[in-house]
Structure 1
Amino acid sequence: MFETINGMPAHVLLVHAAVVFVPLLALGAIVFAVWPAVRARIDWAVALLAVVAPLSALFSMISGNAFYEMRVADGTPEQFLDQIGEHASYGQRTFFFSLGLGLVTGALLLLRRRAGTPKAVTVGLSVVAVVLAVITGYFVVMTGDTGAAMNWKIS
């Protein structure tokens, strides 16, 4: 399922969803955490991104693993496989941090609506969300950079 789509490696198609949705989640989480005036207007979008972004990163990771296995099977040189491995390690971290960001953002969304939640809890979750958003953004950039560098060096 995650190997090819219409004869193309699925990874080169599925990765575009993660490239769009994960940074949007990071941006949405930061805005939601620090800008109270817009929370009510963006809460539904941030909630949707909290689910879609980690899923898109997961599908990219799974399809990337399938792509790697196809390269191993076709005898790709070890040097290139090492570059894929570096790219994959960034991709895995992108998935795990986006998952954490999605969960923290979801909790923040729920607790902001719940009456009686101590302010310290929501402030603490807001800080964690911003930190996770920055870290997730870093790993998205590094994943994309290592992937693009491989593509342009071998083309």
Structure 2
Amino acid sequence: MPTFMFGLPLHPLVVHAVVVLVPAAVIGAALVAVRPRLRGRWGWPVVVIAVLATLAVPVATSTGEGLEHNLPRTAAIETHAELGDQLLILIAPMLVCVAALVVIDRLRRRAVGLATSSARHAGPGTMAAPRIRDGQARVALIVLAALTVVFATVSAVQVVRIGDSGARAAWGSVQYVPQPRPAGRSRD
């Protein structure tokens, strides 16, 4: 992965994909996990966003490592790099959990729909009416939903920690201080 393009470091540009996609995936995954009604319509779009977020992480770390080798070694940069390397370990399980949640939910809904349809055609109380056994699927959905929320929360916290350490590495002790507006200038 190139480190510079047109004389500019790629890492600050590429990292914006992580900064946008990971929180979007985290929010979507948490909503799909805790609101089963959202899974049917929004489950697969959330999975796609989570895939894109997961793929953006190694690209950001790769460009960051290239930039790291072109900068003087500091404790702040090392901390930022260590935190950045940990994000993939957190977001990949979230992706797996939310994808499994959506797949199992889809299969369960399909099975319940087919069983209900067969039962209607066979008539109530007949031997041909299948029993709907989805207890295992429900347990799996609950476990996957809980794991999705846990990994989403941890991923969100990690993105904030990475961003904070990156800002500290780039800006050091520089702090933003609002400047007074000149008299006669509007706020536009």
State if a TM-score over 0.5 links the two structures: yes
Letter in 2 for 1:36: P
Deviation at 1:50, TM superposition (A): 2.0
Between the aligned partners of 1:151 and 1:62, the Cα distance in structure 2 is 17
Partner-residue secondary structure (3-state), 2:2: coil
Between structures 1 and 2, the one with greater helix share = 1
Deviation at 1:154, TM superposition (A): 6.6
Structure 1 segments of 4+ aligned residues over 6 angstroms from their partners = none
User: Given that residues 100 and 132 in structure 1 are in contact (C-alpha distance below 8 angstroms), is that contact kept between their aligned partners in structure 2?
Assistant: yes
Root-mean-square deviation over aligned CA pairs: 1.5
Between the aligned partners of 2:137 and 2:62, the Cα distance in structure 1 is 39
Gaps of at least 5 residues in structure 2 are 109-133, 175-188
Gaps of at least 5 residues in structure 1 are none
Corresponding residue number in structure 2 for 1:40: 40
Letter in 2 for 1:11: H
Larger radius of gyration: 2
The number of equivalent residue pairs is 148
Deviation at 1:129, TM superposition (A): 0.4
Corresponding residue number in structure 2 for 1:135: 154
Per-residue CA deviation, residues 104-126 of structure 1 (Å, 9 max, x unaligned), is 11111111111356210110010
Q: Within 5 A, what are the aligned runs for 1:1-155?
A: 1-71=1-71, 76=72, 78=73, 80=74, 82-115=75-108, 116=134, 118-153=137-172
Between the aligned partners of 2:170 and 2:39, the Cα distance in structure 1 is 40
Letter in 2 for 1:22: V
**% identical equivalent positions:** 30
Deviation at 1:98, TM superposition (A): 1.0
